[in-house]
Amino acid sequence: MWGAPFSAGAKKMLLLGSGELGKEVIIEAQRLGVECIAVDRYELAPAMQVAHRSYCLDMQDAEALKALIRKEKPDIIVPEIEAIATGALEELEQEGFHVVPTARAARLTMDREGIRRLAAEKLQLPTAAYRFADHFEQLRSAVHELGTPCVVKPLMSSSGKGQSVCRTPEDAESCWNTALEGARAKTTRVIVEAFVPFESEITLLTVRSVSGTTFCPPIGHIQKDGDYVESWQPHGMTDKQLLDAEDIARTITDELGGYGLFGVELFLTADGVIFSEVSPRPHDTGMVTMITQDLSEFALHVRAILGFPIPSVTLLTPGASATLKAEQATRDFVIGGLHDALLLPRTQVRVFGKPETKPGRRMAVALSAAGDVETARKTAKEAANMLKVEVNHV
């Protein structure tokens, strides 16, 4: 029960991170009459464009973050990215603020070390073998111990930034440099993981709400350079794989606690299901649910965090998503090809509205539904291929 946005009795949600995923979270919250405040490091971020108001802030600056939240006094704080001063969130939670799903979950998933040690060492979930390294010599011994190929990632990064595959011991130096350049935080620590020879990989969207734990049908995806380019739902799995996947997802999300939607990333291998990582928030590969499910991952997150019931989630149709990425950096561009893409059957497009392109930056996504996953994948890829970031040359 709450009043209209801007009124004294309004329900206020503050989003930390305002990308394409947050934009959809805000749209869903607005539909329930929630007052929405968007925060990110740059002006005109996608979610800011649909929020009631917004702030530009370095979210790793604990003092600035606390000052803003104490001023705005939101009823609910929703992290949308990892790179946030999570110590500040824990302090604010102590003061009585509600952090989604919990401040501890935000802290543990903020960097790869927290979540990996929790999953592998405390919960004994199957993961790739791993080591951590603070400097190049340590990386070299980690590569030696794990063998090649292995994967090197900065502790805090997402969408594959700074990630590379070390194929021979000689690659270690270039992997180290890639990780340092791609790291979001000012730390040099990296994780080195044994390469998992997976047959496929999935995201199991898992919702914790007053109704208990609910799993969405599995989402299959393909990643290029550590970033997703294509996803589809449902992904074909054996009953055993699905049971094992749900078991892992329930174990990790029960441990993290709180209400909300989680994206549990898993590898399907000949030797079983392996845990990769988890986002305590909607997942990029889950954008496909905007066309496949009665309640998208964004609608589910909002319902769960507001404390509403989720009696069921229904897959309405098989579907797929494919991304449009920019190739170069510019602020002077147009997104073309919408007319042609939208001629394709059962196809929709989301243009995120990011004000600036960068090489590899995700700018839009095509969504297609069809009678089967293969047709949906083909159509979504066709639609995404028609979309173009056209740079204006003066």
Ligand X SMILES: Nc1ncnc2c1ncn2[C@@H]1O[C@H](COP(=O)(O)OP(=O)(O)OP(=O)(O)O)[C@@H](O)[C@H]1O
Residues that are catalytic: 158, 160, 265, 277, 284-285, 362
79 binds ligand GAR (CB under 6 A): no
Please give the residue whose beta carbon sits closest to ligand GAR in the complex: 19
List the one residue from 32, 185, 196, 391 that touches ligand X (CB under 6 A).
196
Give, as ranges, the residues between 242 and 281 that touch Mg ion (CB under 5 A). 265
- Work out whether 159 is an interface residue with ligand X (CB under 6 A): yes
**Known binding-site positions:** 20-21, 80, 112, 153, 158-163, 193-196, 201, 265, 277, 284, 354, 361-362
Choose the stretch contacting ligand X; rule: CB under 6 A; options: 55-63, 191-199, 326-334, 346-354.
191-199
Contact 233, 319 (CB under 8 A): yes
The minimum distance between CB 113 and Mg ion, in angstroms, equals: 15
Q: How far is the CB of 225 from ligand X (least distance, A)?
A: 8
34 binds ligand X (CB under 6 A): no
Q: In the set 13, 21, 142, 341, which binds ligand GAR (CB under 6 A)?
A: 21
Q: What span, in angstroms and rounded, lies between the C-alpha atoms of 336 and 194?
A: 41
Nearer to ligand GAR, 139 or 380 (CB): 380
In contact, 197 and 128? CB cutoff 8 Å: no
Min dist CB 158 to Mg ion, Å, is 7
Binding residues for ligand X, rule: CB under 6 A, are 128, 151, 153, 157-160, 163, 193, 195-196, 201, 223, 226-228, 265, 276-277, 284
Q: By CB under 6 A, name the binding residues for ligand GAR.
A: 17, 19-22, 80-81, 158-159, 284, 354, 361-362
